[in-house]
Amino acid sequence: MEDLGLNAPHSMGTTIIGVTYKDGVILGADSRTSTGVYVANRASDKITQLTDNVYVCRSGSAADSQIVSDYVRYFLHQHTIQLGQPATVKVAANLVRLLSYGNKDMLQTGMIVGGWDKYEGGKIYGIPLGGTIIEQPFSIGGSGSSYLYGFLDQAWKDGMTKEEAEDLVKKAVSLAIARDGASGGVVRTVIINEEGVTRNFYPGDQLPLWHEELAPQDSLLDIWGTAASPEPMTTE
């Protein structure tokens, strides 16, 4: 029997993205989690809350990115209690960097930290495999990111409105889904600004189609569920 890698670690062959706009940041991600070539979860949430004002996009090993997020969330909670005010985006990103770099021989995860604070406004930090940290106006990661560098270099611009930035994030993730076999599912976005946090969800039929891509179709199970029950087959 062909080995489909069903016992392989859960891996988020992924597309994650964070962009700044004039009032804050927008994070986006696809939703496919795979185990070998088997899709273990087609609607996973790869954008995780660290504090009220800071979120992280996770790629790579699902277990590794989850444990790093859990530790950072715990440390930031303690930090907030001691300071009596929310942690800044820079503090959150540097905690992710410390854990990633200190355990780089054991972790297989790349992350993007984004958020808003009253000192520096909206900030995006890329923390790729190995634990370096890079402050960027936009950052991309995961297996689908290799299809997006040229697109984002051309499409991103300084001072975008919230609508322009979210449209760019949605377009970029849907393009990666079309080109990258390890990315798929729905698109989730998180908008973070002075007013708070807004989460949005875009199923496949609300995403733009790309060259040679087929329009979403109802599955046979959906069709059978809505159609009248067929007559049982009989043999003469």
Cα–Cα separations (whole angstroms), residue 230 to 111, 120, 151, 217, 233 = 49, 62, 48, 21, 9
pTM, entire model: 0.85
Confirm if 31 and 173 have CB atoms less than 8 A apart: no
The CATH number given to 10-208 is 3.60.20.10
Model confidence pLDDT, tens digit, residues 140-171: 999 999 999 999 999 999 999 999 999 999 99
C-alpha torsion sign, points 47, 111, 19, 216: negative
Model confidence pLDDT, tens digit, residues 87-138: 999 999 999 999 999 999 999 999 999 999 999 999 999 999 999 999 999 9
Confirm if 36 and 195 have CB atoms less than 8 A apart: no
Calculate helix-pair angle for 62-83, 89-102, nearest 10 degrees: 130
| Sequence letter at residue 80 | T
Per-domain boundaries in the chain = 10-208
Q: Which residues are catalytic?
A: 14
